Amino acid sequence: MHIQRRIRIVLKRYLLGEGIAILLVLLYAPLVVHWYDGWFNKNISIEHEYFSHGIIGLPYAAYIAGTNRKCWLRLPNSQHFLGSFLLVLATLFYLSRLSDFVNLSLGVMLAGICLSLKGISGLKLQGMPLIFIFLASPNHIPYLIEPYALPLQHFIAETSGSILIHLGLKVRVEEIYLYVNDRIVEVAPHCAGLKMLFTSLYVSLILLDWTGVWMSHKRSILFLAATSIISISSNIFRNTLLTYFHGTERETLFNWLHAGWGGDLYSACILGLLVLLINGIEKYLPSQPAN
C-alpha cells in the first residue's frame, strides 16, 4: 500500500505537470509561431508590430518560470476559486476566434493554471513571467491610443523642423506636416515613436528584473523616466533625419532608415543605450545597505 501511494503521488506530481505542458504546446504553439512569423517578416498589421518586443520577452518569461521550478514544486497544492473562472474564461477567449481574445487567452490560461494548482502563492511566484507574457500579447490597444498621440506628433514635427531650420534648410511646419524644398513629410501616428517607447519600457522592465534594480523604487523610477526621455529624443532625431533625407531627395537613405534594416539597427542602438544606462545606475547609484 505504501508503494502504491508513492506511485500515485509521483504520477500526480509529475505526469499532471507534463500533461498540462503538452496540452499548452498543442494549443498555443501555432499561435506563438504566428506571432514570431509576423514579427520577423513584418507581414502583419502595424498594431501587431507594436508587440515585437515579445521576440525577447517570451523566451525571458520562459526562463524566469524555469528558474522558479524548484520553488514551484515546494509550494503546497492549493486551489483558488478564481483559477477555475480564469480557465473557463481563457477557453472562451480561445474559442471566440477574435484575434485579441485568442491572443490574450494565453496569459489568462497560464494565470488560471497557477491559481488552480498553487493558489495565490503560485500566482505571486510566477507574477513576473505572466506580466511579460501579457505585455507581449498582440492586441488593438495601440490602435486605440494612436488618436491621442496628436500632441506628440505635433511636438515632434515642431522640434524636427526647428532643428532643420538651424541647420540652414528651408522648412515650414503645419500641424504634423513638414515641408522641405516643396517636399512633404508627415509625422504619422505610427511615426510618433509609440512603438519604440513601448519596446523601450518593456526592455527596461526586463533589465530591472534581470539586474534586481527593481527592488529599489527610486532607482527604478529614475531608470524608467530616463528610458522614456531617451526613447522620445531618439525618435525626434530619427524623424529629423527622415525629413532631411526626403527633403534633399536622398531617397535611398530615407527608405533604408524608414522601412529598411537601418530602422532595426537604429532601434537596436537605442536599446543598447538602455543597457549602458542601467549599468551606470548600478555603478554610480548603488542601493543603500540595509541597517
- Interval 212-236: pLDDT, tens: 888 888 899 999 999 999 998 988 8
pLDDT tier, 2 (very low <50, low <70, confident <90, very high otherwise): low
- What pLDDT, in 10s, does the model give residues 198-210? 899 999 999 999 9
* Lowest pLDDT segment from 16-20, 22-26, 287-291: 287-291
Give 6's pLDDT tier (boundaries 50, 70, 90): low
| Between 191 and 94, residue with greater pLDDT | 94
Q: What is the mean pLDDT of residues 155-177?
A: 85
pLDDT bracket for residue 14 (50, 70, 90): low
Is the pLDDT at 141 greater than 90? The verdict is: no
Greatest mean pLDDT among 49-53, 149-153, 178-182, 185-189 lies in 49-53
Across 139-155, average pLDDT: 82
pLDDT of residue 285: 79
The model's pTM is 0.87
The per-residue pLDDT for 93 is 95
Mean pLDDT, the chain, rounded, equals 85
Nearest one of 235, 245, 139 to 191, comparing CA atoms: 235
Alpha carbons 220 and 257: distance in angstroms, whole number: 32
What is the arithmetic mean of pLDDT over 171-179? Answer: 83
C-alpha–C-alpha distance, residues 125 and 121, integer Å: 6
Chain-centroid distance, C-alpha 47: 13
Model pLDDT for residues 97-135, shown as the tens digit of each residue: 888 899 999 999 999 999 988 899 999 999 999 999 999
